[in-house]
Amino acid sequence: SCAPPDLPEAVISKSRRGAEQACVRSGAQCQVYYYHFHKAGGTTLCAMAKANGLRVYLGANCLVRGVRWWEEEAAWQRDWLEDQPVDLVANEGGQWGEAPWPEGPQVGGGRGLLYVITVRQPLDRVLSHYHHERAAGKLRGVGFADFVEAKAFVHWRSNFYVRLLGGCAWAHCGEAHLARATAVLRSYFSVVLVSDDPTTYSFGARVLLSQRLGWEVVDPEPFSSRGTHSHSCAADELAGAPGALLQLAELNSLDLAFHAAAKSLFHRQLLDALAESKPPRALLRKIASAQQPLVPVAGERGDEFVATLSRVIFGVGSAVEEPEASSTEARRLASALTAPELDRSGYGGHTKDCRGVGGMPLYECRRRLVGSSSC
């Protein structure tokens, strides 16, 4: 099947929580199923898993080659995965394909298997995919604006996330597929990371990979060189072709909404992890131990929510050796800050749908549509 199962979200969420509790009970490192969105930071995460002592097929980017195991029956999958000498298995490019077991995360081999995913700003992910293809010797003579506007590449540059998680694959994707994709994100995944920029990815990894997975090596920066070596900011790349940028945003209107939902869930998971940490100071010290500062570097837009968390924990400025926040303050983070709700105004549809959105003038809607893609 190309679509995730039509099971009640509460059923899958209950299964996910059971797997999380099994990880805690076992006292052992959890087994991880990593859903690898192409060009969203998965190569880095695979290398981090290896550095944490997880058994992975590093040369295969944490994939298991030659077996389309996700297409088998659930019982066969359980037996197969338990027999594999791996602690993290990735899936990149299968449709659904996405879930090892349709009824949700499972408890197998005496330990839970947790679902992890990384989401990147959609327009920048498309540009990174373009760079990847160019580095492989493809798309010669094709500029990025041409790539955006050409009919031949529409499925690779249009709502990639929703196509995979929403079940529409290469057919037309709509609001129902977006709703399904966000429901899958909420119900299946114990860790949602956002890799829009190095600071956000680093902060999220240090909090969630340590707290939810028990990893010790949690700074992605030393491992980031394994991916495509190219800066990817679609707004910068198409600065001289605003029409192409607008078209790219329109083609990815569903993915932009999915990305906003992913960021909201990412923020909530950060707050929950910080509030639940026992003792919280140990987690805060791990957050502060990065080789890179926790404030955005020059020219990096960053995540305002993450920047606010950083200021609350460390005060103004870069990371320090000893966090300033007390244990009590860390536990109050969840009530002191509220993760923003999904807000689609300004980029929720094609520009032809802008007119009349919330009484917003057409030019303002279009400005927000393009602005939502800025790096």
Domain spans of the chain, in order of start:
9-285
Could you give the CA distance from residue 1 to residue 97 in angstroms, rounded to a whole number?
8
Kindly give, in sequence order, each residue whose CB lies less than 8 Å from that of residue 352, ignoring residues fewer than 6 positions away. Answer: none
Alpha carbon distances (Å) from 201 to 37, 120, 130, 195:
15, 9, 21, 5
Q: Per residue in 328-362, pLDDT tens?
A: 554 454 444 443 333 333 223 334 444 433 445 55
Alpha carbon distances (Å) from 109 to 15, 26, 252, 346:
16, 10, 40, 47
Q: Per residue in 9-65, pLDDT tens?
A: 887 788 888 878 777 666 556 788 898 888 888 899 999 999 989 999 998 889 887
Cα angle for residues 221, 223, 226 (degrees, 5° grid) = 125
Q: Per residue in 242-257, pLDDT tens?
A: 899 999 999 999 999 9
pLDDT on residue 5: 53
* Range picked from 148-162, 287-301, 334-348 for highest mean pLDDT: 148-162
pLDDT on residue 330: 45
pLDDT band at 288 (very low <50, low <70, confident <90, very high): low
Q: Per residue in 309-329, pLDDT tens?
A: 777 666 544 444 444 544 455
- pTM assigned to the model: 0.81
pLDDT on residue 132: 85
DSSP 101-152: STT---EETTEEEEEEEEE--HHHHHHHHHHHHHHTT-STT--HHHHHH-GG
Could you give the CA distance from residue 207 to residue 111 in angstroms, rounded to a whole number?
22
Question: What average pLDDT is seen over the chain?
Answer: 74
Options 3.40.50, 2.40.50, 1.10.8, 3.15.10; CATH of 9-285: 3.40.50
End-to-end CA, the chain: 36
- Cα Rg, the chain, nearest whole Å: 20
Kindly give, in sequence order, each residue whose CB lies less than 8 Å from that of residue 259, ignoring residues fewer than 6 positions away. Answer: 119, 120, 121, 122, 161
């131990």: which residue's tokens?
Answer: 289
| Secondary element (H or E) of residue 194 | strand 189-194
Could you give the CA distance from residue 291 to residue 224 in angstroms, rounded to a whole number?
13
Pairing of strands 111-119, 107-108: antiparallel
Cα angle for residues 326, 332, 334 (degrees, 5° grid) = 135
pLDDT on residue 298: 47
Q: Per residue in 173-208, pLDDT tens?
A: 999 999 989 988 998 899 999 999 888 898 899 889
Q: Per residue in 254-272, pLDDT tens?
A: 999 999 999 999 999 998 8
Residue 222, classed as helix, strand or coil, is helix
